[in-house]
Amino acid sequence: MDWSLSRPTPFRVNNRVANFSPNIPQFAVFGQDGGAHDSHPAFGHLVLLVFEAVMEVVCVSLPGYVIARLGHFDAEKQKFLANLNVMLFTPCLIFTKLASQLNADKLVELGVIPIIFIVQTFVSYMVSIGVAKAFRLKKRPANFVTAMGVFGNSNSLPISLVISLSQTLKGLHWDRIPGDNDDEVGARGILYLMIFQQLGQLVRWSWGYHVLLAPKDKYEEYQTERLEEGNYTDEAPARATDVLIPGLDGTQTDGTLSEGNQSEGSRRGSQSSDGSDVYEPAGRTPVAGTSNASPVDSDEDDASPRKRKFKPNTALIMPPPQSEADMMSFPRMRDVDEPETPGGIRGYFVRSKVAVQNRMSSLQHGVAQSSRRTFTRLPKPFQTLLTGLWNVWVRFYHFLWDFMNPPLWAMLIAVVVASVPDLQRLFFEEGSFVKNSVTSAVSSSAGVAVPLILVVLGANLARNTQRQDTKDSEEEEIGTRLLVASLISRMLLPTLIMAPILALIAKYVPVSILDDPIFVIVCFLLTGAPSALQLAQICQINEVYEGVMGKILFQSYVVWILPSTLMLVMLALETVEWAK
């Protein structure tokens, strides 16, 4: 059978014009016109196009899977590449796609995306609760199913599918944009996905990390079990700790450090051992030249309440004098972390740098003192007002830096550039210096983002990268139920509920981007997208059903991805056709 694309010939069915190609088989789907609509090809050809898009994702992800199975791509390397992608390549992708496509009018229209996100999250939440009750799951596994159902993938797989579909599917061009092309369609799809992604990130790392996928010891029903295990493995409580205190004459004399004089870190370390004989140092090291060493400040005292030998800080001990002249001279002691000043030109620059730093420090100290004196001279009401405003600013500042990440900063910069026409022309006007240098470099880095995401995705699917040193009896008992419940809550029921809701929104809500075919496809892809890959990272951090998480990723991204994507794309295209 010839699957080549040919020029479609219009014919009339039920008083409407449809596209028909004699080389493409017609299937009776969603209507009496054989499944061939103005907005998409026939069902058989659509299956081929979706299969091509999915196979492109598989082919890029497969090398990461193979390398991880061979043992050359462990979890630490995966985490490093994922963080590198988030810190560098994904922000470049966001900037190039958003800054070139956005304008002031589009920013207003994008306000419908948070509304759709809230509706999708609420539907997925209610579905997951119902499924957890149907499977008779307790609170902890029910929260796990809720996390799998609510947090879908809006980054790696949907981005790749949108880019592939924009290049393969015809009929995705928006009639409101003159001269729309495949590249513009893909850029708008990435824009929509990035907004959904950042909204999901906010909820995922707050509610998901601290509540739904919290560690096991956060649940009351498991605390009794942990305490019973601790009764058989914990060592004796801390007693008076024998240490050796250095004497004034250079010798060491025995001394006893009572329990009341122990540091808080020592008591904390002895109480939270959880029956483990493995000691991990607290990492607190006394700084030479700042204070005299003492048993309370010693790292070894933080480590264990047992008897430790005191090691004096040798950096503070001067070598014995060799002559009478040496005994009469007392040169300045250099701190351990103070670098030696080299000679020549390099030393000049080092001394200049130190002088500038000292001058800036003195200036800051003087400004702080002047501000403090000015503040104390103000009336009490003004002091109270300024103190309140300062506290609000400090809280907002810390919240901003905790919430913002490189993709969000890139999105903010892109919005600023897109909102100022002169800046947008500066960065994206053909033939300009900035376009040929800065924008071209950023675009080159942006091209790495999607392939790197998919390579890491393939590595995450490799079974040998999962931790195998711990076995959870509860996970072995209910693992199959968790797997089935998670797949139903994420990839089946939300699609069945959200499909008519999205169709009604696209039909009757007067927002222009709802007429954009790629926006409708993005919304449908997110309703049935697999669980987010970051959930695997959270599960590893909090030790939450890691084995089940690996099976969910394999089932979602390997077994069910083709039929799920085909169904979602067909529903989206039929919605676009019906909404017209």
Residue 302 lies in a domain: yes
Verify that 302 and 258 share a domain, yes or no: yes
201 within 8 A of 151, measured Cβ to Cβ: no
Helical ranges in 245-379 per DSSP H = 264-271, 299-303, 324-328, 344-377
Into how many domains does the chain fold? Answer: 3
Which residue in the block uniquely carries the two structure tokens 């696209």? 506
Residue 17 lies in a domain: yes
Verify that 93 and 10 share a domain, yes or no: no
pLDDT tens digits for 13-47?
333 333 333 333 333 334 334 444 555 667 777 78
Verify that 87 and 185 share a domain, yes or no: yes
Verify that 449 and 529 share a domain, yes or no: yes
Cα gap 51→562, rounded to integer Å:
7
Verify that 18 and 80 share a domain, yes or no: no
Residue 550: which CATH number?
Answer: 1.20.1530
Verify that 202 and 136 share a domain, yes or no: yes
Cα gap 486→389, rounded to integer Å:
46
Choose the most confident range, by mean pLDDT, from 220-234, 387-401, 519-533: 519-533
What is the pLDDT at residue 171?
78
Verify that 212 and 249 share a domain, yes or no: no
Residue 561 lies in a domain: yes
Verify that 447 and 508 share a domain, yes or no: yes
133 within 8 A of 508, measured Cβ to Cβ: no
472 within 8 A of 541, measured Cβ to Cβ: no
Cα gap 372→578, rounded to integer Å:
68
Average pLDDT over all residues of the chain: 74
Per the structure, the complete domain to which residue 18 belongs is given by 6-32
Cα gap 87→80, rounded to integer Å:
10
Verify that 471 and 563 share a domain, yes or no: yes
Cα gap 235→6, rounded to integer Å:
79
Verify that 259 and 164 share a domain, yes or no: no
Beta strands in 424-499 (DSSP E): none
- Bridge partners (DSSP) of residue 9 are 20
Cα gap 383→394, rounded to integer Å:
16
pTM of the model: 0.62
Residue 568 lies in a domain: yes
Residue 236 lies in a domain: no
Give residues with Cβ within 8 angstroms of 429, minimum separation 6. 435
Residue 256 pLDDT exceeds 50: no
Cα gap 214→140, rounded to integer Å:
9
573 within 8 A of 40, measured Cβ to Cβ: yes
Verify that 67 and 145 share a domain, yes or no: yes
Q: The tokens of 531 are what? A: 């669980």
Residue 322 lies in a domain: no
33 within 8 A of 50, measured Cβ to Cβ: no
Residue 503 lies in a domain: yes
Give residues with Cβ within 8 angstroms of 243, minimum separation 6. 255, 256, 257, 295, 301, 307, 308, 309, 310
Helical ranges in 151-216 per DSSP H = 156-168, 182-203
Residue 495 pLDDT exceeds 90: yes
Residue 129 pLDDT exceeds 70: yes
Residue 228 lies in a domain: no
156 within 8 A of 453, measured Cβ to Cβ: yes
pLDDT tens digits for 74-118?
888 888 888 888 889 988 988 888 888 777 777 778 888 999 999
- Answer with the one of 310, 345, 368 that is the final residue of a domain: 310
Verify that 200 and 249 share a domain, yes or no: no
